[in-house]
Amino acid sequence: MQKVGRFLLVVVALSSAACKKSDHHNDKASPQQNAAAAPPQSSEELKTPLAKIDDVTITLGEFQERINRQSPYIRARYTSLEQKKEFLDSLVRFEVLAKEAYRRGYDKDPEVVRTMKQVMIQKLMRDEFDAKVTADTVADAEMKAYYDANIAEYVKPEEVRVSAIVLKNKAQAERVLLEAKGDAGKTNKGFRDLVMKYSSDEESKLRGGDLRYVDMQNKDVPQNVIKGAFTLMNTGDVSGVIDGGDGKYYVLKQTGRRKQMTKSFDDAKPQIRNKLFREKRIQAQKDFVDNLKAKAKIEINEPNLAKVRIDTSQNMASDVSGHDLVPPVAPAGSAADLQPPPPPAGSAGQPNP
């Protein structure tokens, strides 16, 4: 009974969700032919009843709206009268199941009520923001201001990544260099072992000698070391002994190279537009919810909240049916077009009523 309840839960919840508006086409020919050739249907014709289930009427307009909501592949299968009867039968089954669920009182079940609220919230957020906050609302001036303020993301100099063995005197550095250029330093692991054995710089030593990526303007690494790093053209190349000018001597191994990148404003616009659009939408949703919360009378009982017990055992990770627990509120801005489940028929590719 519980599994039946969960199935009917979804049926009842989604049967009450408002339908999207769509263009209606005559179905005597293919959808493409109808769009071009069929005359517009009157509102009276669209109200023509096709089926009645007790007090529920399925009209011609509703039928067309439901079937035209399917994918083109599904729609192509319902062009004959018999196929239309088949689709209509799926709508009838949907209403019959929903009616039985109401009769059994599932509309008052807490889980059904939560699911109903979730569907309504998703539609509310779509209706409130899909048309009002779009990528087109992001002005060129906003994008240009963002580009100028974050120019380092789009214009980057050439960079080299090196690992370094740092030594205190040149004689020791010459001896270590022989090992670094030999078998011991051929692999990254071998070079790191030499760093751990000889390097005197404790900070870089913790990273296996990694100085990370540097460019010619870097101020954290001695300029002589940077110049030496840029002479290493291939990954794995080992430098000679470099006098850092800071009383230390360096043996470098090149581990990576990044080419110079220059992305113009026009090239960066699509990326910036999407980023700013997401930010504007998130902020608009937050402002919308904050305004609703400000108008509502909300009372929080923190002492009672502290009494809530959370079971963190594995067997509470999902509900009794094995499905992941549904969050109480859908993610803000979710544009999922939730559909009722397909009729329980045996063939694949069943339509959604």
Given a cut of 60, whether residue 251 has pLDDT beyond it is: yes
Range of 190's domain? Answer: 155-262
Give per-residue pLDDT as tens, 269-316. 999 999 999 999 999 999 999 999 999 998 888 888 888 888 888 765
* Highest-confidence segment of 132-136, 240-244, 319-323: 240-244
Instruction: Using pLDDT thresholds of 50, 70 and 90, give the confidence band for residue 344.
Output: very low
Q: Which residue has the higher pLDDT, 350 or 344?
A: 350
Shared domain for 217 and 102, answered yes or no, is no
What's the CATH code of the domain at 215? 3.10.50.40
Shared domain for 94 and 129, answered yes or no, is yes
The Cα-based distances of 256 to 152, 161, 218 in angstroms read: 20, 5, 16
Q: Which residue has the higher pLDDT, 26 or 200?
A: 200
Give per-residue pLDDT as tens, 255-274. 999 999 999 999 999 999 99
Give the pLDDT of residue 352: 62
**Inside any domain, residue 222:** yes
Give the pLDDT of residue 124: 94
Shared domain for 165 and 86, answered yes or no, is no
Q: Which distant-in-sequence residues (6+ apart) come within 8 Å of 177 by Cβ?
A: 238, 240, 241, 251
Instruction: Using pLDDT thresholds of 50, 70 and 90, give the confidence band for residue 351.
Output: low
**Inside any domain, residue 11:** yes
Beta strands in the chain (DSSP E): 49-53, 56-59, 155-156, 159-167, 210-214, 242-243, 249-258, 261-262
Give the pLDDT of residue 247: 92
Shared domain for 39 and 128, answered yes or no, is yes
Give the pLDDT of residue 70: 85
Give per-residue pLDDT as tens, 54-89. 888 989 888 888 888 888 888 888 888 888 888 888
Q: CB of 240 within 8 A of CB of 106?
A: no
Shared domain for 75 and 181, answered yes or no, is no
Shared domain for 190 and 297, answered yes or no, is no
Q: CB of 234 within 8 A of CB of 227?
A: no
Over residues 96-118, mean pLDDT = 93
Over residues 33-46, mean pLDDT = 72
d(CA 151, CA 90): 57
Given a cut of 80, whether residue 334 has pLDDT beyond it is: no
d(CA 272, CA 262): 15
Q: Which residue has the higher pLDDT, 9 or 193?
A: 193
For residue 179, the Cα-to-chain-centroid distance in whole angstroms is 49
Summary mean pLDDT of the chain: 81
Shared domain for 123 and 7, answered yes or no, is yes
Over residues 102-113, mean pLDDT = 93
Q: Which residue has the higher pLDDT, 19 or 246?
A: 246
Percentage of the chain with pLDDT > 70?
78
pTM for the model stands at: 0.52
Give per-residue pLDDT as tens, 147-179. 999 998 999 999 999 999 999 999 999 999 999
Shared domain for 174 and 252, answered yes or no, is yes
Q: What is the β-pairing status of strands 49-53 and 56-59?
A: antiparallel
Of 262, 295, 314, which one is at a domain's C-terminal end? Answer: 262
Shared domain for 64 and 114, answered yes or no, is yes
**Inside any domain, residue 90:** yes
**Inside any domain, residue 150:** no
Over residues 14-34, mean pLDDT = 43
Structure tokens at 39: 């005359």
The count of structural domains within the chain is 2
Q: Which residue has the higher pLDDT, 233 or 338?
A: 233
Shared domain for 20 and 120, answered yes or no, is yes
d(CA 336, CA 113): 19
Instruction: Using pLDDT thresholds of 50, 70 and 90, give the confidence band for residue 15.
Output: very low
